[in-house]
Chains A and B, each alone.
Chain A
């Protein structure tokens, strides 16, 4: 499978980057073709600009070459993997901005101006995988609705095909987690991604 791994953490030495590399190891061991999109390292611009917003519903909504390159990776991907820290129960701004600027009409969905309906454009995606770390314990995460997970597994899922499957691998209460727990979690990430078919 062609797999896109989207990483959103500003620090290269972060645990998220370690998880991303373990995910890539697992995927490559299973013979998948992996492309890593490291948003912070690439200097991906977070906010949609005024010109991008004005072009959004036009024929060419993609104006930035980096966005165009990422959109091409997404168009070809059969699996999308997101690795990020959950902040304020949601996606880090840079990952939210990636959804807004890369998954535009013509890439993730087709917007029919006449009927006002949105048709999914990512029918070729077989799996969506979320790998996230949380500061809070799982009970609190559920209480506040795990909003980042909702965006990935529901809002983004709606732009995919009927058979697209979602998988979630979360490490909760990371601030009080032990070395052993983190090691086991990283091993689980590698194992589960190697098992993806």
Chain B
């Protein structure tokens, strides 16, 4: 059975991204996946990487305050990130979850004397981003799609070597019609129902 970890990040519970999350979860349920949902804002996740964490960053294991998030990450085989794209990338809150949870002993290890990280998240075989962009696609292409590459290259490099990535993005949300938004919600549910 697919074990899906959904990490949702938006401060406002009535936002369009919250609706996107609901449909993503509905799709995973249709697929019969075992699902855990993390709501970073509602859970009061602290995204600030501390000086103490910096000093200990080569010591294996997460900070005790994020141990549960780390065990969820080690549990899943499918990671679904649901977030709005701001300044062409993941919101700071979600970046903080990456900075603090994807640490040594969880996501990677560094063999002594090397500068090449060894991947430790071989359990993750599928990475999915479901995201909205205020600006149109061509603007995001000019900006270099930092958020997309963070998922498909940077995060993926610490997962299973054959892991696959799925990018479900809506562009131009700021000027979108009700119809386009509904179509995107339908697409998200359909796509996630087919993942497993």
Contacts and interface: CB of A to CB of B under 8 A. Distances in A.
B131 to A, nearest CB: 14
B95 A88 contact: yes
Interface in B5-26: 10-13, 15
Contact of B154 (A11, A90, A116, A158): A90
A53 B11 contact: yes
A64 B174 CA distance: 25
Given A46-B48, A50-B11, A135-B115, A155 B95 contact: no
Nearest to A114: B175
B135 A47 contact: no
Q: Top 6 A-B pairs ranked by shortest CB distance?
A: A97-B92, A93-B96, A116-B175, A150-B144, A145-B149, A147-B146
15 contacts: A54-B12, A88-B95, A90-B150, A93-B98, A96-B95, A97-B92, A118-B135, A136-B116, A144-B149, A144-B154, A145-B154, A151-B144, A151-B146, A154-B144, A176-B114
Interface residues of B, number: 50
Given A10-B49, A47-B41, A52-B11, A88 B99 contact: yes
Contacts of A173: 115
Given A47-B41, A150-B88, A155-B87, A94 B150 contact: no
Interface string B89-103: 111110110110010
A96 B91 contact: yes
Contact of A155 (B53, B117, B146, B150): B146
A92 B11 CA distance: 19
A148 B90 CA distance: 11
B143 interface: yes
A91 B142 contact: no
